[in-house]
Amino acid sequence: MKIFSEELVEEARVKNHVADLSTATIGEVLLVAQYLEQKTGIPFIRMDQGSPGLPANRYGIEAEKRALDAGVGSQYPAAAGIPELKEAAHEFIKAFINVEVSARSCVPTTGSVAGSFGSFIACTQRIPGKDKVLFIDPGFPIQKSQLRILGIEWKEFDIYAYRGEKLRAKLEEEMKDGDIAAIVYSNPNNPAWICLEDSELQVIGELATKYDAVVMEDLAYFCMDYRKDLSHPYQPPYVPTVANYTDNYILMLSSSKIFSYAGQRMALVAISDKLFNRHYPALAERYHDSGVFGPTMIASILYMITSGCTATTQYGYAEMLRLSCEGKINFVEDTREYERRAAKMKKIFTDNGFHVVYDHDVTQQVGDGFFFTIGYKDMSGGELLKELLFYGVSCISLSTTGSLQNGVRGCTSRMRDELYPVMEERMKQFDLDH
């Protein structure tokens, strides 16, 4: 028996101006779930929005307070970032990725969303004719929305069938025309939680160099592959990265998930020093500046989007990065709660007729973390999304992420202990009804 009637769910769709639930965005699903919950008082299992479900890191908060008390709120921050954050970012990357990126090349952005927006502009304008973006999907739908705003074309493919050495031929096929300016993926992956392995990152790096494309590596879920212990600074194992295999990279490092600092909108783009210092005549002609990639991106692009980043938040992020390098913050252990939640939630689903869609990396089973993917029999993602709404569970269809697989994405961040038995009861009923 359904928790919410078809009529009530339809009412929620109409009231919130959602054109089609089967292709609804994260924000649209969120509105429908909130409407149903508020109208009936019946709690939802909220697996839709990937918002942190842990308290914000207290060291960042205290550092921001000190910065405010010191009077930094009265001055505009430098577009390139405060020296303390740039130096801390350089050291953090060395400590946890074992890659050298100079402080100069580490630039704060108002969340990774602003970082990718600026990077898309700089990457697609640097060389005439090299103006398309290649997505290794599934991925973050917002990034394609950014390209729609910018009028930039893209190519995409679902990596599901191209793991391991199969990835090389597929990338060659997509890049052979020479029009790819940037390659984008997240690692660990949103939504599938797959992790690209070193052999795959090497392939991506080699072809990025061969075809002169910039790899935009989204590390929003930094060190959250809990299958190995990545929590010790300056000690292996280090975070796998394409930066080991090419000089054409931009790493995006967000504070939102690893420090639960989403509300402060703070991230970094770490641009390889070689790319940062590279001169492009097309950029010089367009912006009437030096045409050097890094300075152009900072002063002529990013500054036009957000006019720099909130000064106090830069001090907060710098403090969290610095203390992580010193071993005084163990952000990996702090976020491991997501691993525990995912294991419990996935078991409830698989015990009741569901299956994990993206279930393996090249050499091992996909781990547990912030996201997971589930399917039910041969239902499409859109059908499953709508059916789960009737049972008080909200999620998003994999089809909205560039995936070709049937299923939905679940997020663990909003799960609470008292909801596990509720979820189990509802999924048992779902399986009985289907």
pLDDT of residue 22: 86
Same domain, yes or no: 224 and 173: yes
**Residue partners of 211: CB distance under 8 A and separation at least 6:** 175, 178, 180
234 and 98 together in one domain: yes
Confidence band for 288, pLDDT divided at 50, 70 and 90: very high
Question: Do residue 290 and residue 260 come from a single domain?
Answer: yes
Asked if pLDDT for residue 224 goes beyond 90, the answer is yes
Query: Do 248 and 169 share a structural domain?
Result: yes
Residue 369 has pLDDT above 90, yes or no: yes
**Is 1 inside any structural domain?**
no
Can you tell me the mean pLDDT for 189-205? 97
Instruction: Give the end of a domain, one of 304, 325, 346.
Output: 325
- Domain with 194 in it: 58-325
Residue range 62-76: mean pLDDT, rounded: 96
Q: How many domains does the chain have?
A: 2
Instruction: Give the model's pLDDT for residue 324.
Output: 98
Are 37 and 112 part of one and the same domain? no
Average pLDDT over residues 55-76: 96
Domain of residue 406, CATH code: 3.90.1150.100
Would you state the pLDDT for residue 25? 87
26 confidence band (pLDDT: 50, 70, 90): confident
pLDDT bin (cut points 50, 70, 90) of residue 208 is very high
Taking residues 110-122, report their average pLDDT.
Answer: 97
Residue 403 to residue 426: CA distance in whole angstroms:
27
Question: The domain that contains 82 carries what CATH number?
Answer: 3.40.640.10
Please state the pTM of the whole predicted model.
0.95
> What is the mean pLDDT of the segment spanning 335-352?
98
Q: What is the pLDDT of residues 134-165, one digit of tens each?
A: 999 999 999 999 999 999 999 999 999 999 99
**Where does a domain end: 303, 325, 347?**
325
One domain, residues 113 and 205: yes
**pLDDT over 90 (residue 197):** yes
For residue 209, the model assigns a pLDDT of: 98
298: pLDDT strictly greater than 90: yes
390: pLDDT strictly greater than 90 = yes
Residues 177 and 293 in one domain: yes
Q: Do 273 and 101 touch, CB atoms closer than 8 A?
A: yes
Question: What pLDDT is recorded for position 102?
Answer: 98
pLDDT of residue 23: 87
pLDDT over threshold 90, residue 67: yes
- Same domain assignment for residues 386 and 408: yes
Q: Is the pLDDT of residue 1 over 90?
A: no
